[in-house]
Amino acid sequence: MSTLQCNRLCFHLKLAILWMFFSGAVFCIHVFASTTEVETNSDAGKFIMKSYFENYESLHDSSFEDFMAHQLSSSLCQGIPDNWNVGVRLSVRELSLIGEGSHRHLSSSIRLQIGAASIPKLPAHLCEVIVIQRLPLGVFADPFELQNPHKHKAFRDIAVFGDTNLELPSFQSNRSAVEFHIDAGSNILFMQNNGTEFNLLLPLHARYQPLDESGYSVVEIGEPDMLMRCSVEGKQHKQSCLFMSPPNEKAKSTSATVAWKIPAGMKAHAGFVSVITFVTALLSTLSIVYASMFWSGTKVSKT
């Protein structure tokens, strides 16, 4: 190929590329471009789990319950003689696992009820429901997947706390938790007696499990923890405070868990798998070495 032809071809290629960029960029910007930007958690201080991890290194049920019972008590709404009498009830109506395999969705149906007699006690304010789904060791949520604006536009905020390493097997990772903030509606005074319901669909992924003789590992996911946070007009500025369901209503029953059966490697395979793997690698190596030495620098006559 002569230099002139090469130069001409390069010129045409550059033109084609420029045209490609221009037309494609115009289309992308004006037709399909989404102007929604993925926001990072700019106001991380409002996340309850962030406060938890400032006090504890990793997520354990006992530590978390201790945190909820004691350290959050200072954030409970003041000025109301008995916070429990406000009659805020957050309950899980249904908890289920949707899908098959290593990628599923945890579906939670949450009901928020505020007793009619209690409504006049609540000042007009802005409230959000906070749902904290603690995840067991064997599963994780992808924080970047949760930032997908198309799937999660109903939520004010979502964040994952704890071990967010997506690649480690469960026996080398720690637990994590997902915190949702959902707008409960600006005028809670008009809420009906039967309350309002929120449906959460949380995409989850299974980690590689510890070896098990049965070939499967069962991971159990419990109900989420729920609170309501309201912005209250204070003397000088707005403050936020928490409402929690009465303690006797927070006890979770064993039926309120979902079980996920995840395939696991079997220790009985370890011996022969290693041997056969190395023997196969060796045989392949010898074949390639033989072929290279026998056929390099020689010709095969055309048929």
Partner 1 sequence: MISLKPRSILLISAIFRVGLILVGEWQDTHMEVRYTDVDYLVFSDAASLMASGQSPYKRTTYRYSPLLAFLLIPNSFISRCWGKFLFSASDLFVGLFIRIILKQRKVPDDLCTYSMLIWLFNPFTFTIGTRGNCEPIVCAIILWIIICLINGNVVQAAFWYGLIVHFRIYPIIYALPIVIFLDPRFFRSGTKPLLSDWTSDPGKARQINSELIDKCAVCDVWKSTFTRSRILFGLISGTVFLLCTGFFFHLYGWEFLHEALLYHLTRTDARHNFSIYFYHIYLNYERELSVLEKLVSFLPQFIVQLVLILCFAKDLVFCFFVQTVAFVAFNKVITAQYFVWFFCVLPLILPWSNMKLKWKGLCCILLWMGAQTHWLLWGYLLEFKGKNVFLQLWMASLLFLAANTFILIVLIRHHNYGPVFRQHTDLKTTKTT
Residues between 162 and 191 that touch partner 1 (CB under 8 A): 164-167, 169, 171-172
Residues 59-88 close enough to bind partner 1 by CB under 8 A: none
Under rule CB under 8 A, residue 44 binds partner 1: no
| Region from 57-65, 180-188, 234-242, 287-295 binding partner 1, contact rule CB under 8 A | 287-295
Should residue 259 be labelled a site residue for partner 1 when binding is judged by CB under 8 A? no
Q: How far is the CB of 106 from partner 1 (least distance, A)?
A: 15
Which residue, 154 or 273, has its beta carbon nearer to partner 1?
273
User: C-alpha distances in angstroms, 244 versus 78, 112, 158, 159, 290?
Assistant: 13, 11, 20, 21, 74
- Among 70, 153, 235, 299, the residue binding partner 1 under the rule CB under 8 A is 299
- Sites for partner 1 among residues 223-242 (CB under 8 A): none
50 lies in the site for partner 1, by CB under 8 A: no
* Whether 82 contacts 199, CB under 8 Å: no
Span interacting with partner 1, options 44-52, 95-103, 112-120, 244-252, rule CB under 8 A? 95-103
Q: Are 201 and 224 in contact (CB under 8 A)?
A: no
Tell whether residue 298 is a contact of partner 1 (CB under 8 A).
yes
Reduced to 3 states (helix: H, G, I; strand: E, B; else coil), residue 59 is coil
Mention every residue, 6+ apart, whose C-beta is less than 8 A from residue 64.
Answer: 52, 56, 134, 177, 225
The values of phi and psi at residue 29, to 5°, are -70, -45
Question: Helices (H), strands (E): how many in the chain?
Answer: 5, 11
Contacting partner 1 within 96-125 (CB under 8 A)? 100-103
Torsion sign across C-alpha atoms 115, 201, 38, 180: positive
Size of site (CB under 8 A) for partner 1: 74
